[in-house]
Structures are given as structure tokens and as C-alpha cells.
Structure 1
Amino acid sequence: MQTVTYDIIIRNADVIDGSGTAPYRADIAIADQKIVAIAPALSLHGYETLDATGLVVAPGFIDVHTHDDREVIDAPAMLPKLTQGVTTVITGNCGISLSPWLADKIPPAPLSLIGTQKDYRYASVQEYAKAVKQAQPAVNVGMLIGHSTLRVNAVADLARGATEEEIKVMQDILAAGMHAGALGFSSGLFYQTSKAADNSEVIALAKISAAAGGVYTSHIRDEYNGVLDALAEACDAGQAAKLPVILSHHKCAGPANWGRSTETLAYVTERRKTQAIGLDAYPYTAGSTVLDPDYVDGVIRIMISFSQPHPEMQGRDLADIAAEWGVDQKTAARRLHPAGAVYFQMREDDVERVLSYPHTMIGSDGLPHDSHPHPRLWGAFPRVLGHYSRDKKLFTLAEAVRRMTTLSADHFGLKQRGRIALNCWADLVVFDPASISDQATFASPKQAATGIHWVLVNGTIALANGKSSTIRAGRFLDRQSERFPNQT
């Protein structure tokens, strides 16, 4: 009997397939970008063999919450994600997407977090998808269409709700974007660009996503004292529009709300009885976004991630800057503006409770254009695997992997990704479970994780022992072709 020789063999690995079940020892064969054989260890042969003895092979991680819209085009090597084992990023979260908008003005915050006016040059999702394909990033890219992005297209005054005519314009733009392959619609009612929108505006848009089989992700209106009402608003929108809701970076922010994750998760559990709801979280007690003087309370620590007028202040605490300048923190914040900040606004027990919730996906929420970014940009996924799974034992390694793979793929309709099974795309990560660890810190955030040996994207070796390949094989993930992968 003739021996079959495959393109690549991952040999003698402990396979964690993404389902949450216990690991098993096997060889995995890859050909034509797909997983084509899974067989007893040491039984398969390949033109290239990756010896994974003592290592784990898992599906490539899916970062469901990113702001990598521009990064995948401008820095397609995508090292902050690839070095974590991430093979797919979902862009356009929090109502902020780079397309569809051909900017006719300076982007207001938070749109400014991902680009300047010249960067908002994709009038349609088709144009953005074409740019991604031309850039050929090292990771796969799925995108959401942001509410704030739609509003700057259509709403004359962002300080008010949209008129019926403006809603119709946004619906038409969103429908075209969904037809072009977007995975869904996102909102960020917390931000000034969308704060004036009521839920009827959101529902009118969410219905367009629903009609195309998409999802609705929500950076809720209030993660502080009004968190329960804001959760209800997001869930109500999903229920009215009849589509799945994903609650972004779930948290209870500010000291007055520490410990309330018991309430919020109980609420989510209750709503899940009658509708599809998921959530994502990052494994840190600090968040990061624009520096807003309204959220400077003089109590929580705030670190500057960038400042346009005072770039020398990046990485420094706002309290220290204010003391140096002889002003209060709100005044210092206004002087630093436009700026970004890291807010140490959560408590560890809430973070652990949210991460432990069985329906929580992992998302980094990293901001790649910050000059001194939050360490989650480089460290979120290894931190879950190392610190929270291996060291703190919040959940098994197999369960940690499930939250980064099948759970995410299923929520976003990626049918042949996020799992190790025959005929699935060969998005894979090989790592050492004993040593995998995040190295990025708040003081030194741009540090690659340790313990990742290989990352494969669509059957191509993208990262080997910390070094990226010159061959990049990421794809733009069109919603239709991902949900029905055999169609042409």
C-alpha cells in the first residue's frame, strides 16, 4: 500500500480540538489549506514535519473584539496578534469601523482611535475588502459595520437622534455592506458620536443585519452605575430585531460597581433563556479608550496611552502629570487632549467571574495605533491560557481554548474555523502549555508572548519560533462564503 505524503504534518501533538473535551495524542495532516487527516501519533508523513512532542495543537485563536481595521492593511504582518496564536480578527467593534466612509471631515473620537481623515478612504465594504486582499495580511479578517461610522455618513448633527430619512440612508449603507460580506453591525452608545441615538434607531439598523443573517455587538451605553439598564437596552434591541446579541468587553466599571458582576451575569443568564446572547471579555482589570475628562474622577489610576499635543507623556500616570503641571486631573486631561488612556477601573474578582462565565469569548480590544498601548494588544490570549487557566485554574486548558475558538466561530457564523476537524481550514497554533505566558506589561506593553512554537493560517506556516513568514495567507472572511463554505 502506497504511503500518502501530505504538505505538512504536525506530529505527535496533544490535540485540543476546540470542543472543550480532553486532549488526545495524534498527527494532523494539512493539504490544500485544509485539515485532511487526523490519525494516531507517528503514523502520517509529510513533506514538512513539525515535531509537536510535548506540545499542544489547538485551533487558531479568534480575536472577536479588535480595532485592527487599519492595522491589517498598514501593518499586515500583524505580529501583535500572530505572536499570541491569533489567526482571525474581527474588526469594526464598538460602533467604530474604517468603512464604509469616505471621510469629508476630521474623524471625531472615538473614530479617531483607528484613523485620521486620510485613512477613512473606503466608501464601501467592497473597497475595504479589496484593500485587505491586496495587503494580504498574515491573519484572517472578518468585519463588523459600526454605528458611529454610519452616523458620520448620514446624520447632520451627531448631538441628536437620526431622522427617518437619515435612518433610511444608514440602513441602505448597512444593507450594501452586509451584502458585501460584513459579519454584522456594532454599536457604541457610550460614545459621543452615538450617545444621542435612542434604541429605536439601533433596532432599525440591527434589523438590516438580522435580515442578512448577521449579529449585533454592543458596547453598551453605560458600564458604570447604569450597567443593568444598559444591558437591558442592548438585549431589547436584539430581541426586537430578532438577531443574536454580543455584549462587548463585559465589565462593571468604577469602584461603586465593583462586585456587581454577580448581578449582571445573572441578568444575562435570565435573558439567554429567551434569546441568543453572548459576551466577550479581556483578562485585565484595566480598559483603554479615548481620554475623557468626564471619566476622570481622581480615584482610579489613569495612564496616558497617547497624547497628540504632549507625546512625551505617553506611558505616564495622569495623576503624576497633573501634579507636575500644578493642576487638577481634569484640567490635565483637557490639556492632553486629544489623547487616549488606560483606565484601571475594574476589580479582579469581577474579571475572574466574567472570564469564568461559560458563554464568555475572549477578545483583546487592543488599540494598535496607541503609542503606549494597553498590554492586551500583545498579551490577552496567552494571559488567559497561562495566568488564568494554568496558574489560577479558573478553567481547564481545553475550556480556555473553547472560549477562543469554537465558541467564537459559532457566534460569528464561521463554519469551518475554530475547530480541529476534517475539512476545516488549517488555522492552527502549536504551543507549550507549561510555558505559555504573556510578557506585555503596562510599563512595557509591546512584548511578544512566550511559549508559542508555530502558527498556521490557511495551511501556511505564518510564525515559527517567534519569527514571521514572508508568505502571508490571511483571507477576508465574507459572511456568506464562511457560512456556506462550499459555494463559489
Structure 2
Amino acid sequence: MPHLFDTLIRCVLLLDGSGAAARLADVAIRDGRIARIDEPGAIDPDSASNVVEGHGLVLSPGFIDVHTHDDTNVVREPAMTPKISQGVTTVVVGNCGISAAPVTLAGDPPDPMNLLGRADAFRYPDFKTYVAAVNAAKPAVNVAALVGHTALRSNHMDRLDRPATEAETAAMRGQLQEALDHGALGLSTGLAYANAFHAPTDEVLALAEPLAKAGAIYATHLRSEFAEILDAMDEAFRIGRHARVPVVISHLKCAGVSNWGRSGEVLAALEGAERWQPVGCDCYPYTASSSTLDLKQVTNDFDIQVTWSEPHPTMGGRLLADIAAEWNVDLLEAARRLQPAGAVYHCMEDADVDRILSHPATVVGSDGLPNDPLPHPRLWGAFPRVLGHYARDRELFPLAVAVNKMTGMSAERFGLTGRGFVREGYWADLVLFDAATIRDAASFTDPQQPAEGIAAVWVNGELTWRQRAATGVRAGRFLPRGTQQQH
């Protein structure tokens, strides 16, 4: 007699992703979806092909990493070990104005598109080609995608240190529309970066106009996260109002020593905008950022660790100040000599991170850089760090709130229908973890370490990770905006 269910997870402490209190439950999976949720013992174990005993463990929706740069890696390295090992079942790519598609390169990828890989990683001249490549690769996680403004600029402009012409903006809009037609979540910008900084607000206003009709969003790495942050937030809110779409501020932070302590006024500005338009933000749970080595951010106010350098690869892992001293030059000259390069900037303070991370408008994104040879530990540890360090050890917020910030709230904000909650009929993206032991093992000196306390991870109903090892099954797929994708 055929089994009624594919998998039964028994007697778990269920956190359903809504922020509601935990309850004991049995959860049954059939055909990739959650088929039944009931009281412990109410579902006959003989009715399932596979039975997993969850006594003492928490079952939650799989974590949704809303801020990633996994664009090319979901195809090139579909095992996605840094993400699946920490319970992430869906990644949102295309952030900070940089995306793998649509891209046509004339040479090397411009900074910061080089964070996604070398020129040979960019194989997707239109968005539908990227969607097909993700589905063909069958990554271990689901993939949803934004379209990057800098990528569009690179496709249509001979130089990026100027505003786009009307004709160039129209061409960019055409490519954005094609992407929206094939399920893109929306548009992202990285206006702080040199290759987008010269784009005036009007360029972004015009480019954002097709978003509303598609039900899409606008996500932005602000033009400044330093002294001018409030002006940069005003610009983002203006773009959202003009386009009539929700605004997501990426990795909201108070960067730079002179900015420390300003999170109260930054969040007040966010709350002020919330009264008139849909706005939110994401945040990673660390006081250090990471990106390319940006000459504008070079300072002796805080430590800057070089993670890679093309002309000087042996300098990876060393402090910029130590390199400068060895070369007998100032910090800025050392940074110039290292270009192109990557860096970790220890540029924030704990109180600001606490305040932003705990704010009701904040969801969690790792902002991990998978192609960095010495990545920031957020790549492997962001989500367990929220659950262990912040929720359990420091009691910044209850566990149910932490899970909501990483699941249900994220799914709703990014239009991932049928995801983010443990509900009957929803896709069975699930993580089983030990709330008492879960922690991030990755550190700045040893960053490529899987988290502890993750017992099992299911993606679209398939057991993908168990007891610190991949099962070999990869069941991820591309998730178009706002639809429940069928098999």
C-alpha cells in the first residue's frame, strides 16, 4: 500500500515563521509541500515513507537570505554549501546594483561586478537565459533575482563615470522589462560605488518606472552609509514614491566612527517614511562590512583587513595598516597599489547593529561574498549567529521574532509566495535545529566553517543537509516573483 506522506517530522517545537509562539507538532510532507500539521502523535508514522524524530528540536521555515551575491555561484557551484549548511533554503541575488543577468561584457567586469566572478562567469545576455541556467544547474537552494542597475549601465554605456543619456536609459529600461517579464523581483542599485555614483537620481527615477506594473520592488545600497546617510535615505524613498513601489534599504548601517550612535535618527527616518510608503531594510549581524577595497573608505579610524589582491595575492588576510607600514607608504597609497582588491572594514559599533537588527522593519541578509578567498564569516554564519548569539545568548529578541525576520517577513517583503511559513499547502522548505546549541562557527580568521546545531534541511520537500553533511540531493529552482512555481 503506498504511503500517504513522503516524510513525517515528529514531535518538533514548531516556529511557523509568523512570529507566533512555538508549539509542539508533527509535520508531514508530500510532493514537495507541507501536507499536514497536527498535534504530536496524531499522524501515524506508518503513513510516511521516511520518519524523522524531532524531539527537543525546533522546526522552522528554511531561512531566506534576502541579500546575497551568489548570482553566478548557484550555477557554477550548485552545492551551495555555505548557505545550505546554515539552514538557508532560498537566496535573493542581484543586490547592490550588480547582477549576473542581463550582462554583456566588453572586457573585465567593472568594480564591483567583479565580486560575482571573472568575465567568464557572466554568460547571460538576457534574464531568461539566466533563469534557464539556474534551473538546469539544480542548485541546492532556491534562487530569486533582482536586476542590477550597474549591470544595466555596463551593458549600454561606454563610460560609467557620467549620467546615462535618454537613449541609454531607454535601452536599460527595455532590458529591465524583459527581466520583469521573466520573473525578476525588481531593480537594485549600488549608488555608493564609483561606477554608479555618477548616475543622478533622475536616471534611477526613469529606470524604476516599469516596476509598479510588474508588482516589483526597489532595493538599494544607499548612495552613502556615512555622514550623508539621511540624504541618501531620502533619495531612496523619493524613488520609491515616484515608482509607486516598496523600498528595501540594503544592509542598513551606521558606517564610520563619526557615524556611530546615529542609528536612532536613521531608524526614525525609516519610520517617518513608513507612514507614507512601504519601506523596510535588511541587516547582517556583524559590526564589520566587506566589499571591494574602496579608496573612499580607506581610513585609520578602524581596522581594514585585505581579503584579496590581484597584483599582491600574498597580502590577503593582512591588515592594510601593516601592509602600508611594510611598504613605507600611507594607507591610501597602499590601497592603490593593491587594486583590484577586497577588504573587510571593522566600521560599525555593537549598539547600532543591535538597534537596527532588532527593529521591526528589519529582515536578515548575509551579504556574503562567495568568491572571496578569505570571506567575511557572514557567508557561512549569519543566520545561526542571529539565532545563537543575538536571540539566545544576548536575548536581543525572542527566538520566534528571530525566525520571523529570516523567514515569513522576508517572503512577504520579496513576494515569495508559498514560502517563508510552515503552513499546509506551502512549499516544504524547512530547517530542523537545536536552539540550545546553534551557533556560527565561522570567524574572521577561519571563516569557511559550517554552523553548529543544524540537524536537517529540506528544500522543496527533499532532505538536502543532515548532521553537518550534504545528502547529495539538490532540489532548488528559480523562483519567479509572486507566483507559486509548479513542478
**Structure 1 length as normaliser, TM-score?**
0.98
How far, CA to CA, are the matches of 1:3 and 1:443 in structure 2? Answer: 51
For residues 102 and 155 of structure 1, the distance between their equivalents in structure 2, rounded to whole angstroms, comes to 11
Matched, 1:252 2:237: no
Residue 12 of structure 1 deviates from its aligned partner by 0.4
Counterpart Cα distance in 2 of 1:425 and 1:226: 42
Note the C-alpha offset of 1:486.
7.3
Distance 2:225 2:296 in 1: 14
**Which residue, 96, 107, 111 being the options, matches 1:105?**
107
2:13 is aligned to 14
Distance 1:119 1:486, change over 3 A: closer
Q: Distance in 2 between matches of 1:42 and 1:437?
A: 30
Partner SS state of residue 51, structure 2 = strand
Q: Which AA in structure 1 matches 2:475?
A: A
- 1:273-311, Cα deviation, whole Å (9 max, x unpaired): 010001000000000011022211122100011111111
1:425-464 paired onto structure 2 within 5 Å: 425-464=427-466
After TM superposition, give the deviation of residue 312 of structure 1 in Å.
Answer: 1.3
Q: Which residue of 1 aligns with 2:169?
A: 167
State the shift of 1:3 in Å: 11
Q: 1:156 deviation in Å?
A: 2.5
Q: Is the 8 A contact 2:479 2:485 kept in 1?
A: no
Query: Quick one: which amino acid aligns to residue 92 of structure 2?
Result: I
The match for 2:281 is 279
1:199 alignment counterpart: 201
Q: Deviations over 1:146-196 (max 9, x none)?
A: 000000111232111111111100000000011011111100000111111
Please give the residue correspondences for 1:335-374 in structure 2 after superposition, counting only pairs within 5 Å.
335-374=337-376
Aligned length: 484
SS at match of 2:198: coil
Deviations 1:74-133 (A, max 9, x none): 110001001110000000000000110121221110011112222212001111111111
Moved more, 25-34 or 99-108: 99-108
Flag structure 1 segments of 5+ consecutive residues without an equivalent. Answer: none
TM-aligned CA deviation for residue 4 of structure 1:
6.1
Q: Distance in 1 between matches of 2:310 and 2:25?
A: 52
Structure 1 segment 257-336 matched on structure 2, within 5 A: 257-336=259-338
CA apart distance, 1:410: 0.3
- The match for 1:234 among 224, 233, 236 is 236
Secondary structure, aligned partner of 1:211: helix
- Residues 469, 3 of structure 1: alpha-carbon distance in 2 compared, 3 angstrom cutoff: closer
Say whether the 8 Å CA contact 2:82–2:450 is kept in structure 1: yes
Amino acid in structure 1 at the alignment position of 2:358: S
Q: What SS does the corresponding residue of 1:14 show, helix, strand or coil?
A: strand
d(CA) in 2 for partners of 1:487 and 1:200? 39
Q: Equivalences for 1:405-420 in 2 at 5 Å?
A: 405-420=407-422
Cα distance in structure 2, aligned partners of 1:58 and 1:128: 30
CA distance in 2, matches of 1:433, 1:365: 24
Residue in structure 1 matched with residue 190 of structure 2 by the alignment: 188
User: For residue 74 of structure 1, what is the aligned residue in structure 2?
Assistant: 76
Shift of 1:145: 0.2
User: Is the CA contact (8 Å cut-off) linking 1:251 and 1:354 kept in structure 2?
Assistant: yes
Query: For residues 109-148 of structure 1, what are the structure 2 equivalents within 5 Å?
Result: 109-148=111-150
Residues of 2 paired with 1:252 and 1:38: CA distance? Answer: 42
324-333 vs 364-373, which moves further:
324-333
Deviation at 1:451, TM superposition (A): 0.1
- Please tell me the residue identity of whatever aligns with 1:238: G
Q: CA offsets, 1:187-228, max 9 Å, x none?
A: 000011111111111111111122211100000000000000
Q: Which residue of 1 aligns with 2:24?
A: 25
1:193 is paired with a residue whose SS is helix
Say whether residues 1:57 and 2:59 are aligned partners: yes
| Aligned equivalent of 2:388 | 386
**2: distance between equivalents of 1:117 and 1:485?**
33
Q: In structure 1, how many angstroms separate the alpha carbons of the residues matched to 2:435 and 2:486?
A: 37
Instruction: Could you tell me which runs of 5 or more consecutive residues in structure 2 were left unpaired when the two chains were aligned.
Output: none
Amino acid in the other structure paired with 2:93: T
| Conserved? CA contact 2:145–2:184, under 8 Å | yes
State whether residues 104 and 117 of structure 1, in contact with CA within 8 Å, keep that contact through their aligned partners in structure 2.
no
Mapped contact 1:103–1:118 kept (Cα < 8 A): no
**Distance in 2 of aligned mates of 1:59 and 1:256:** 39
In structure 2, what is the Cα distance between the partners aligned to 1:324 and 1:341? 18
Letter in 1 for 2:261: G
Amino acid at match of 2:484: P
- Distance in 1 (CA, whole Å) between partners of 2:393 and 2:69 is 29
Task: Indicate the percent of aligned positions where both proteins have the same amino acid.
Answer: 50
Q: Which residue of 1 aligns with 2:223?
A: 221
3-state SS of the aligned residue for 2:91?
A: strand
Q: Once the 2 structures are TM-superposed, how far is the Cα of residue 326 of structure 1 from its aligned partner?
A: 1.8
Counterpart contact for 1:217–1:247, Cα < 8 Å: yes
| Residues 458 and 486 of structure 1, relative CA distance in 2, 3 Å threshold | closer
Cα contact 2:249–2:280 (8 A) shared by 1: yes
Distance 1:262 1:3 in 2: 58
Partner of 1:471: 473
> Residue 195 of structure 1 contacts residue 221 of structure 1 at CA under 8 Å; is this kept in 2?
yes
Secondary structure of 1:430 counterpart: strand
The 8 Å contact of residues 148 and 189 in structure 2, kept in 1 or not, is answered as yes
Residue 330 (structure 1) shift: 1.2
Deviation at residue 5 of structure 1 after TM alignment: 3.7
Task: Please give the alpha-carbon distance, in whole angstroms, between the structure 2 residues aligned to 1:254 and 1:414.
Answer: 34
Please say if residues 98 and 115 of structure 1, whose CA atoms lie closer than 8 Å, have aligned partners that are also in contact.
Answer: no
- Tell me, what secondary structure is at the counterpart of 1:194? helix
Is contact 1:35-1:421 (8 Å) kept? yes
Q: What is the distance in 2 between the residues matched to 1:468 and 1:74? A: 17
Contact 2:103–2:126 at 8 Å: present in 1 too? yes
User: Quick check: 99-108 or 67-76, which moved more?
Assistant: 99-108
> Do the aligned partners of 2:61 and 2:431 also contact (CA within 8 Å) in 1?
yes
| Paired letter, 2:12 | A
Cα 1:205/1:283, change in 2 over 3 Å:
same
